[in-house]
Amino acid sequence: MPKVTFLAKNKKIEAKQGETILQVATKARVFISQRCGGKASCALCKVMIKNHNDDPLFPPEEKELRLISNEQLNQGIRLACQARIKGNVEIAPMENKLQSIVQAQLEKQQRESEL
Ligand code: FES
């Protein structure tokens, strides 16, 4: 059985091949943002697959491809509600965009105040 590791919580759980990441996260009690109930319409459930070069997931299907660009796929980003587990996989949450923007702004102000 494939092992799924949720890096943010350092939680490992066994999964059945073909289960979605969201299904396994629910079993593991790991929270993944979502608003559409796993119907591939909100795009809030994006996660980062850390070992995506090992090909641990089945290829994306049409529903997922509507919400994920090729560039994102190449970076290892997948929809948790659609991505189906094939082998051992390591999953990290997506970085919070707002948090990144605020952090970048704070760093910029810090640099400017040091001049
Ligand atoms: S849960 Fe909404 S797109 Fe995945």
pLDDT digits (tens, 9 = 90+) for 44-91: 999 999 999 999 999 999 999 999 999 999 999 999 999 999 999 999
Q: What percent of the chain has pLDDT over 70?
A: 93
Q: Is the CB of 20 under 6 A from ligand 1?
A: no
At residue 106, the pLDDT reads 80
Domain 3-114 falls under CATH 3.10.20.30 = yes
For residue 1, how far is its CA from the centre of ligand 1 (angstroms)?
25
107 vs 18, higher pLDDT: 18
Domain map of the chain by residue range? 3-114
What number does the ligand 1 atom closest to the CA of 34 have? 1
Mean pLDDT across the stretch 31-42? 93
The band of 110, judged by pLDDT with boundaries at 50, 70 and 90, is: confident
Q: What is the mean pLDDT of the chain?
A: 91
Alpha-carbon separation of residue 56 from 31, 48, 51, 83, 97 (angstroms): 21, 12, 7, 10, 26
